[in-house]
A and B are shown apart, each in its own frame.
Chain A
Amino acid sequence: QKEVEQDPGPLSVPEGAIVSLNCTYSNSAFQYFMWYRQYSRKGPELLMYTYSSGNKEDGRFTAQVDKSSKYISLFIRDSQPSDSATYLCATKRDSSYKLIFGSGTRLLVRP
């Protein structure tokens, strides 16, 4: 079983839609949760960073962590064509250098 599971997509939505991206993880010791966005031919760019359970909002983006079900989500409101990219979830244990990534979900927002 992979430590972090993520549906590869692609996920295609019309402009303005609410997008929900999700990951599940297997290790209850994971404490830090991140979402990265990766455009084609670019490196991953940090979008959201949360510790433990709960919600965090930044503009059109909301990250949600449910540690009881080992489920992490990223919501994008009013999606734009410029949001078209691959979204990577990542997690790690406390005091660990090793960030465990999902394989990424490719999102396409149609104009």
Chain B
Amino acid sequence: ETGVTQTPRHLVMGMTNKKSLKCEQHLGHNAMYWYKQSAKKPLELMFVYSLEERVENNSVPSRFSPECPNSSHLFLHLHTLQPEDSALYLCASSQASDRENSPLHFGNGTRLTVT
């Protein structure tokens, strides 16, 4: 398995459900990201973890809760979502150093539909 793998590929959930998105990277990178992609809008950065520490939290509602147990795995826990949260959720990784970050490598995303 190579690259960045996201599961599940598709998820339909009700507003009262709790679910989790999973991301795993096999590139040896030390930084991981969650992005949200909605139709006709630019990708929005949600969270960044570097060396398993959250370094950026981009004013995301608390119904989204990230978790990074190690440098290869990233989760996004979801609860009491709203229909407007329906989108493609993309995970990415990069190699971060004190000087610069390498470009992001993305997974294929989880298509989330909130009913």
Contacts and interface: CB of A to CB of B under 8 A. Distances in A.
Contacts of A96: 101
B43 interface: yes
Interface range, B side: 20 to 34
A96 B13 CA distance: 34
Nearest to A102: B42
B101 A101 contact: no
A104 B99 CA distance: 28
Nearest to B102: A49
Given A36-B106, A97-B48, A103-B42, 10 more contacts: A32-B100, A43-B90, A43-B109, A44-B43, A44-B106, A46-B105, A97-B31, A101-B42, A102-B42, A104-B42
A103 B55 CA distance: 25
Q: Which 6 A-B pairs have the closest CB atoms?
A: A43-B106, A101-B43, A101-B42, A43-B108, A97-B48, A103-B42
Interface of A: 2, 4, 8, 32, 34, 36, 41-46, 49, 88, 92, 94-104
Given A43-B4, A44-B106, A49-B103, A97 B42 contact: no
Contacts, number: 57
A98 B40 contact: no
A99 B106 CA distance: 13
Contacts of A2: 42
Contacts of B105: 46
A97 B50 contact: yes
A102 B41 CA distance: 8
